[in-house]
Chain A
Amino acid sequence: MNRRITKIVLPIVIIISWELLAIYINNPWKLPQLGSVISILIHPTNNLLSTGSLIDNSYYSLLRVVLGFGLGCIISIPLGIVMGWYKLLGDLFDYVIELLRPIPPLAWIPLILAWVGLGLRSAVFIIFIGAFFPILINTIEGVKSVNSAYIDVAKTFNAKGYDILKKIVIPHSAPYIITGMRIGMGIAWMCLVAAEMMPGIAPSGLGYLIWQANTIGQVSIIIAGIIYIGIIGLVIDRSFKYLETRQFSWRDVKN
């Protein structure tokens, strides 16, 4: 209980300071007062700057993330499993992956625009790149860390390769994969918002809304948009965290 109070102190201080500072500055183009932001937040269905409502824009943003992230999972999880399991495949892909991995996903934007053009596809592609590597790396790590004793146990019961993969490798790697997905989702969400701010990439979404608000100096909409991005990101992250601890309670996780 005491810890809960400790944790809530700083947010309250920040909110109060914000309000005091806003009153002191008295310039809504720099820092709007709390009330104008809250009034936007509590009317999430109002059309803003003719881009649609907060809800509409969140929906478009989420749709892109789900598509890009889903595609990332579909490709990186099986690839990670075979790369971790078959040394030859791991070695074959190793240099390419290591070379591409450190490139910030947003650096691909010009190329992606050239390849797939504007619209949904380009946004999905960027998110895909953002989600792909953390999931892949964690999956490989999970598969490689399988205790050889577990495989021996399976072999004494005459298990063949497929059984070992299904009954040992995948259950062992599952928590690693979920962790990769959580990290990948975080990066995907960041890539999305940045991508939506790029001119012409997709005329909707929270990033687009923020950018539109910027061009006409509507700081309260910018802040409302940022808060939405933060809340959605938090909810997604917590859902994965919940999965990690609940589904994998067999691990010795101490919170």
Chain B
Amino acid sequence: MNKLEIQQLNKTFVSEKNNKINVIKDMNFAVKEGEFLCLLGPSGCGKTTLLRIIANLENPTSGIVTWDQNSIQPKIGFVFQEHSLLPWRTVYGNIAFGLELLGKEKEEIQKEIKRLISFVNLKGFENSYPRELSGGMQKRVAIARALAVNPDILLMDEPFVSLDAQTRNTLQKELVKIWKKTNKTVIFITHNVDEAVYLSDRVLILTQRPTSIKAEANILLQRPRDRTSIDFINIRKDILSKMNY
């Protein structure tokens, strides 16, 4: 069953000097319920704009985004690229943010956050402020905040791009675990082939701006995946050759 369908999507920005910049061109794809989908594309190709349109932060110039019938008013869990934690709120307050906006009871919020904090390994840091946390921990908070509202979909915009390689690998591993436990549908943006092959069920390879889908690759490897296995390396090669900008 499809969670979400994108049909004939176009986006053109008009600058103040009336210059038109076409960023998305005739985009069509569907995301299955529970699928982990990666959008792989070069920097500045318009993939963030695509994600923002899905999250309803931006309107498309033309085309439609259709959700399944269970999510007429879809709840979004968005993990931003950088610096999206509210600096005046503690870890607890940040994770509570979405639940507060949904008007949940205090006790219910408390229970849910307690569960999430141990789920993303942040026990003992409830009262810390974001500036006191490492980059990896900040990401965990951002993921917990997105999951807190029990979203219909998890949208992740190059969330691990600013992390060092080791932390990135750890968080990728944890993200796979979280995804398996929660059965969430995920759209994950990256320009890193390795990351896409490690995480996803399916990769959509995007073109340069104005972006559209250039190729598609299904990744059927068992999880947790081994980056050094022959299969993994072959899939990487295949995707790299398909990218070939």
User: A: which residues have CB within 8 A of B?
Assistant: 147, 149-150, 152-159, 163, 167-168, 171-172, 174, 248-252
Contact = CB atoms under 8 A, between A and B. Distances in A.
Nearest to A160: B101
A130 to B, nearest CB: 29
Given A156-B55, A156-B76, A167-B97, A252 B131 contact: yes
A174 B86 CA distance: 14
B88 A171 contact: yes
B84 to A, nearest CB: 5
Contacts of A153: 78, 80, 84, 86, 97, 145
A251 B145 CA distance: 21
Contacts of B98: 157
Contacts, number: 59
B83 A147 contact: yes
Given A155-B57, A248-B88, A250-B88, A149 B101 contact: no
Contacts of A157: 76, 97-98, 101-102, 149
Interface residues on B, range: 20 to 34
A205 B100 CA distance: 49
B87 interface: yes
Dominant secondary structure of chain A at its interface with chain B: helix
Interface string B75-116: 111101011101111000000011011100000000000000
A174 B130 CA distance: 18
Given A150-B86, A249-B129, 10 more contacts: A152-B80, A153-B78, A153-B97, A157-B76, A157-B149, A163-B101, A172-B88, A248-B88, A251-B87, A251-B88
A168 B86 contact: yes
Contacts of A150: 84, 86
Contact of B101 (A154, A174, A250, A252): A154
A163 B87 CA distance: 17
A153 B85 CA distance: 9
A155 to B, nearest CB: 6
A83 to B, nearest CB: 22
Interface in B96-149: 97-98, 100-102, 129-131, 145, 149
B113 to A, nearest CB: 15
Nearest to A154: B101
6 contacts: A147-B83, A149-B82, A149-B84, A167-B97, A174-B88, A251-B88
Contacts of B82: 149
Contacts of B56: 155
